[in-house]
Amino acid sequence: MDKSHEKIWKKCLDVIKDNISPNSFNTWFAPIKPVALYNNVLKIQVPSQFFYEWLEEHYIDLLKKTIKKELGLSGRLEYSIIMDNSFGSSKTKPYTVNAPTQNRKALTNPPVNMPLDVNKDKGKSIPNPFVIPGLKKLNINPQLIESYNFDNFLQGDCNRLARSAGLAVGQNPGKTSFNPLLIYSANGLGKTHLANAIGIEVKNNFPDKTVLYVSSEQFTNQFVDAVKNNNQNDFIHFYHMIDLLIVDDIHCLAKKEKTQDVFFHIFNHLHQNGKQIVITSDQPPVEMQGIEPRLLSRFKWGLSADLQVPDLETRMAILEQKLYNDGVEMPKDVIELIASSIKTNIREMEGALVSILAQSSMNKKEITPELANKVIEKFVKNTPKEITIEYIQKVICDYFDIPYEKINSKTRKREIVQARQLAMYFSKNFTKSSLAVIGNKCGNKDHATVLHACKTIKNLAETDKEFKNYIDELDNIIKINL
């Protein structure tokens, strides 16, 4: 059997891998499958329409150059988009393809697999933990917050991938390659908002689908009650009915072995039956502690997307959007003051905005920078000052008299490598950034390199007294900013 298409695509991947980050490669190119090669046209299969559109928008130039390198100037690329578990048709057009139009009804109304043995449970109503027992499936309360929708979730560089993937899931649940979709970030950056927005989008597009948002704590409590009442099967059957299951703060299941076990089986059932799963966490899977390996492996089946701290312009836009939604106005300089003062927690920033409006209304005072400062001080006073990776790098560079631009360069000089390792070590200890983020900001390294650096620094501290003194002094200098 001729497998020339596989050989050509493998060569293409080798080139692509050298030009993008490992995370981007694993997310956007690893899932692609070569289908055929004919008349100098390479046909590839992509998991969804959204996937195709993302490639066309972000990687079209790289694809063009790679195809022409391997197939010559006449080389072309053709996509085959998976639609409702079947290949979609594609037109022979270089680097573009029209989404298939056949069977569109099947796209928006996919066949529902029966989650229960009808005969076995005939005449028996399944107790529902969230509504009055006996109510029909479609009456399940999704527990969504209506204001947490996509209209109120502003897009920026800090959340572009997560928001785009979330919207794709909302428009085609269970049919994209983002299943499960895991959203992770530090507290207050919008994980719960985005998870709710996905649920609301699904309810708007597919009213017949059953959506449920539940915190991991709520899930655990329901399971404990089910065990006490000896109705675990009813509990499991209830979750089998869900078309979109959203579990917030999945990391809170750590060390709860029995709860993890039942969630594992529910996850498998939903995934195998084409149902969508969305989970949130304060960490990526690679850093989760106390979660069973078999669950972690399933979390990696889909897409893990992080929400980062938004820049000043995005923070201001978030505040302006909230003011617009509430029908109130505020001076531009006050909005900028709030956004500049509270940088790492959107929830706290919005809380300060509400407090300033309340102070102005109750005391009948004009909103001024002076009034805003008094309110902001209370928020900032109770919040430790931010220790950033960049700040840590600057402290280390100043301490060892190293030019700042050298610490993230590709040089392998011993003193630079050691300074970079120290930056990784202190960044892990003093910031909430994931290992992936730390590695990216410390010379574009991966999480494994960060773990190795932390282990190296720890070993040196235990065996070298002079080096231990360096660490103690740097530790004290960094803490001054707390």
β-pairing verdict for 244-248 and 41-46: unpaired
Domain extents for the chain? 4-100, 138-306, 312-381, 389-479
**pLDDT of amino acid 3:** 62
User: CATH topology for 389-479?
Assistant: Chromosomal Replication Initiator Protein Dnaa; Chain: A; (1.10.1750)
Q: How far apart are CA 457 and CA 294, in angstroms?
A: 31
> Who contacts 160 (Cβ-Cβ below 8 Å, separation ≥6)?
none
What are 297's two structure tokens? 């492996």
Residue 119 has pLDDT above 70, yes or no: no
Tell me how many degrees the CA angle 132-137-141 measures, rounded to the nearest 5.
60
pLDDT band at 446 (very low <50, low <70, confident <90, very high): confident
Query: Left, alpha or beta for 249 (phi > 0: left; psi -120 to 50: alpha)?
Result: left
CB proximity list for 70: less than 8 A, separation 6 or greater = 8, 11, 12, 15
What is the CATH number that goes with domain 312-381? 1.10.8.60
User: For 123-134, what is the mean pLDDT?
Assistant: 43
Mean of pLDDT values over 437-455: 88
Comparing 126 with 110, the larger pLDDT belongs to: 126
Phi-psi region of 222 (alpha: psi -120 to 50; beta: other; left: phi over 0): alpha
Give the pLDDT confidence of 235-263 residue by residue, as tens digits: 888 898 899 999 999 999 999 999 999 99
Instruction: Give me the DSSP letters along 253-285.
Output: GTT-HHHHHHHHHHHHHHHHTT-EEEEEESS-G
Structure confidence at residue 25 (pLDDT): 82
pLDDT band at 409 (very low <50, low <70, confident <90, very high): confident
| Residue-averaged pLDDT of the chain | 81
Q: Which long-range contacts (CB under 8 A, 24 or more apart) does 5-8 make?
A: 5/34, 5/35, 5/36, 5/37, 5/42, 5/43, 6/34, 8/34, 8/37, 8/42, 8/70, 8/71
Q: What is the mean pLDDT of residues 38-49?
A: 84
Given the structure tokens 């060569």, which residue do they identify? Answer: 11
Contacts of 268 (CB under 8 A, 6+ apart): 298
The answer to whether residue 433 scores a pLDDT higher than 90 is no
CA distances, 405 to each of 39, 153, 420, 429 (Å): 49, 35, 11, 23
Strands 86-87 and 76-83: antiparallel
State yes or no: pLDDT of 129 exceeds 60: no
Q: What is the pLDDT of residue 97?
A: 35
* pLDDT over 70 (residue 105): no
Mean pLDDT of 326-342: 88
Return the CATH fold of 4-100: GMP Synthetase; Chain A, domain 3 (3.30.300)
Instruction: Specify the pairing of strand 76-83 against strand 41-46.
Output: parallel
Token pair recorded at residue 109? 């109304």
Cis peptide before 133 (omega within 30 of 0): no
**pLDDT band of 2, cuts 50, 70, 90:** low
Read off the pLDDT band of 348 (50, 70, 90): confident
- At 51-97, the pLDDT tens digits run 777 787 788 889 988 998 899 888 898 888 764 333 333 333 333 33
Contacts of 417 (CB under 8 A, 6+ apart): 411
pLDDT at 23: 67
CATH architecture, domain defined by 138-306: 3-Layer(aba) Sandwich (3.40)
pTM exceeds 0.85, yes or no: no
pLDDT, tens digit, 9 for 90 and up, residues 148-158: 999 989 888 88
Q: Tell whether the model's pLDDT for residue 15 goes beyond 70.
A: yes
3-state secondary structure at position 212: strand
Cα–Cα distance for residue pair 214/245, rounded to 1 Å: 8
Rounded CA-CA distance 29/37 in Å is 18
Do residues 352 and 380 touch, judged by C-beta distance below 8 A?
A: no
pLDDT for the residue 426: 92
Q: What percent of the chain has pLDDT over 70?
A: 84
At 393-404, the pLDDT tens digits run: 988 998 888 888
C-alpha R_g of the chain:
26
pLDDT at residue 197 in the model: 96
Mean pLDDT of 289-303: 91
